[in-house]
Amino acid sequence: MARPFTSATARCGAVAACATAALAILAPAALAQGAAPAGATAPTATPAPAPHDAAIRWVRENREAFFFWSRYEDLLANPQEFPKPPSFYNPNVLVEGEQKGELPRVAKGRNTISAAAWQQAVDWAFPRNTYALIVMRKGAIEYEQWADGYWPGQMLPVRSFTKTLPSLLIGIAIGEGKIRSIDEPVATYLTEWKDDPRGRITIRQFLTMSSGLAGLDRTRDGGTQSPIVQLTDGADVWRAALSFPKAAEPDTVFGLNQVDSQILGMVVERATGQPFADYLSQKLWRPLGAGTATLNVDAKGRARTLCCTRSALSDWLRVGQMIAQKGRFGGQQVVPAAYVDEMLTPSKLNPYKGLHIWLGWKPGTAEVKRQGGGPLQMPTSKPYLVDDVAYLMGGGFMTTWIVPSQDLVILRWGFEPPKELGWDNSAVPNLILADLLRKR
């Protein structure tokens, strides 16, 4: 199980509770505010502020810098310590939902998946730092198990599940005529790049993570002002995204590039004329009957569309079910079916990647690897047992597997497994699929 987090700033919630950390990490000059110039006599009538008061004042006046430095310090000190407290994801904006009751649960004795297969999945997953495992079939939850301290309806961070949201919203915007095609150049919407070679990169190339922009190594080299650090934690996420240089020609390099997901969110805002959170709420979250969620935002209130949504896990079961049903949910076509089909089509450079969604290793095929032998997919020892598996993946191998042919959605929420056990991304779904295929 995850170790308790140890960073002073990561433990801070309220501003007052962080005063000491703010002084130590953020504002060494805070106590000097209001001090007399060298050689002058300080007024005797006005006492100097107490250290605690000075720190609180500094945090209030530099709120975004405080959140930046607290996250940055914690990530450097404790890069693998999750879960983080809710304060770690501040500042954020609400994504209003319209919850229409809980997802249905299968009636007792009507399970289509055997209890033995479910137990095998639990026994494999939970020693690997799994905190929640849920299986839904034909729109009803068949099984779920939660670790102590976690429960259905709890707001939890899902990290890079977030990346699939701009793709789904682009599909909706195409259906509404607000985006003509994913083969449009992004300069159609990002006029900052009108006369820039980066403006000729297409929406599709960002969706397939083959834009050629720098940052493929996902490192924080360069310190606090590096583009990737400013992208993930800085005060102006748009400026950071637009600063990434072109490092390769589009459609020549595949990479898990964080900036691609952010550019897509910016395209959504420009094409629709709405803040990302509002369009997400109106066009996806409410139609799915999802509950309230949060998105991390920068100092300008602009959403980071590359990471760190917080919501109930059941909301992602709804997303998975909608994708499994070709964009339909609750009798409504939420995302155009043609776009969902295209989402689930292998991309040019990576057969395991669609339009900002992962695709499973198909049965009967050899694993495709990068030039030089590196993997193109998440750690997977064997092909999936059916050929239409897709999945959302967040840090720590949080996964929502979607299997349209079986009307099946499986969600695993948790963190990095112990190194001695490792991770195999096809293990849990194949245990469930083997049981279903035996019954055909």
Transcribe 105-146 into DSSP letters: BPPTT--SS-HHHHHHHHHHHGGGTEEEEEEEETTEEEEEEE
Q: Are residues 47 and 122 in the same domain?
A: no
Q: Are residues 410 and 283 in the same domain?
A: yes
Q: Are residues 22 and 167 in the same domain?
A: no
Residue 236 lies in a domain: no
Asked if pLDDT for residue 27 goes beyond 50, the answer is no
Average pLDDT, the chain: 87
Asked if pLDDT for residue 87 goes beyond 90, the answer is no
Summarised one tens digit per residue, pLDDT across range 330-384 is: 999 999 999 999 999 999 999 999 999 999 999 999 999 998 778 999 999 999 9
**Residue-range definition of the domain harbouring residue 127:** 115-211+253-438
Count of residues making up the chain: 440
Select from 342, 366, 371, 372 the least CA-distant residue to 355: 342
Q: Total domain count for the chain?
A: 2
* Integer angstrom CA distances of residue 436 from 177, 411, 427: 40, 17, 15
Tokens 């430095």 locate to 69
**Cis upstream peptide for 83 (omega within 30°):** yes
Q: Are residues 83 and 151 in the same domain?
A: no
Residue 96 lies in a domain: no
Asked if pLDDT for residue 15 goes beyond 80, the answer is no
Q: Are residues 277 and 404 in the same domain?
A: yes
- Helices then strands, counting H and E runs in the chain, come out as 14, 12
Q: Are residues 270 and 351 in the same domain?
A: yes
* Integer angstrom CA distances of residue 333 from 65, 282, 326, 338, 362: 42, 14, 8, 11, 28
Summarised one tens digit per residue, pLDDT across range 110-136 is: 999 999 999 999 999 999 999 999 999
* Cβ–Cβ under 8 Å, residues 97 and 315: yes
Residue 222 lies in a domain: no
Q: Are residues 29 and 120 in the same domain?
A: no
Residue 334 lies in a domain: yes
Residue 248 lies in a domain: no
**DSSP 8-state class, residue 355:** S
**How high is the pLDDT of residue 217?**
54
Q: Are residues 29 and 160 in the same domain?
A: no
For residue 359, the cross-strand partners are 390
Q: Are residues 309 and 187 in the same domain?
A: yes
One-character DSSP codes across 361-385: PPTT-PPPB-TTS-BSSSS-SS--S
Q: Encoding tokens for residue 126?
A: 């939970």
**How high is the pLDDT of residue 313?**
98
Higher pLDDT, 411 or 83: 411
Task: Count the alpha carbons within 13 Å of 355 in the hemisphere toward its beta carbon.
Answer: 22
Residue 97 lies in a domain: no
Which of 61-75, 117-131, 189-203 is least confident? Answer: 61-75
* Cβ–Cβ under 8 Å, residues 193 and 199: yes
- CATH at residue 124: 3.40.710.10
Average pLDDT rounded to a whole number, residues 255-269? 96
Q: Are residues 80 and 149 in the same domain?
A: no
Q: Are residues 62 and 153 in the same domain?
A: no
Residue 184 lies in a domain: yes
Domain boundary among 55, 89, 123: 89
Average pLDDT rounded to a whole number, residues 223-243? 89
* Cβ–Cβ under 8 Å, residues 121 and 394: no
Q: Is 151 exposed, middle or buried (0-12, 13-18, 19+ CB in 10 A)?
A: exposed
Strands (E), 102-250: 130-137, 140-146, 156-157
**How high is the pLDDT of residue 39?**
39
Q: Are residues 25 and 120 in the same domain?
A: no
Give, to the nearest 10 degrees, the angle between helix 51-61 and helix 63-77: 100
Residue 2 lies in a domain: no
